[in-house]
């Protein structure tokens, strides 16, 4: 049986150093929701499916996103453990 790679370079966010497929899917899903809600596509397309349009927009780097750092609570707000 041949060794098949599970990563597809066509579906990776261009400016993502980690080449995270999870991040690609989340960004594309959020963009698809925007399109379903009435947002206009960023590129001309013949497809009417929001997911297809969103995937292509993310692949081309047309969707801007920001990676937020996790919120760390100060130690004094955490409950004490005995």
Q: What is the pLDDT of residues 9-51, one digit of tens each?
A: 556 666 666 777 888 889 999 999 999 999 999 999 899 999 9
pLDDT at 78: 60
Please report, for the domain that includes residue 56, its CATH number. Answer: 3.90.940.10
Structural domains counted in the chain: 1
> What's the Cα-to-Cα distance from 51 to each of 1, 36, 55, 72, rounded to whole Å?
33, 9, 6, 34
Task: Tell me whether residue 77 is in a domain.
Answer: no
Task: Tell me whether residue 79 is in a domain.
Answer: no
Task: Tell me whether residue 17 is in a domain.
Answer: yes
Q: Which structural domain, as residue segments, surrounds residue 60?
A: 9-65
Q: pLDDT tier at 1 (50, 70, 90 boundaries)?
A: very low
Position with higher pLDDT, 32 vs 81? 32
Taking 60 as the threshold, does the pLDDT of residue 4 lie above it? Answer: no
pLDDT at 31: 96
């Amino acid at each position: 049986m041949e060794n098949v790679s599970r990563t597809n370079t066509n579906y990776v966010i261009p400016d993502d150093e980690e080449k995270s497929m999870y991040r690609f899917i989340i960004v594309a899903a959020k963009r698809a929701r925007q399109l379903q809600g009435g947002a206009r596509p960023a590129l001309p397309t013949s497809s009417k499916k929001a997911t297809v349009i969103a995937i292509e927009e993310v692949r081309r780097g047309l969707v801007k996103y920001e990676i937020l750092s996790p919120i760390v609570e100060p130690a004094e707000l955490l409950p004490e453990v005995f």
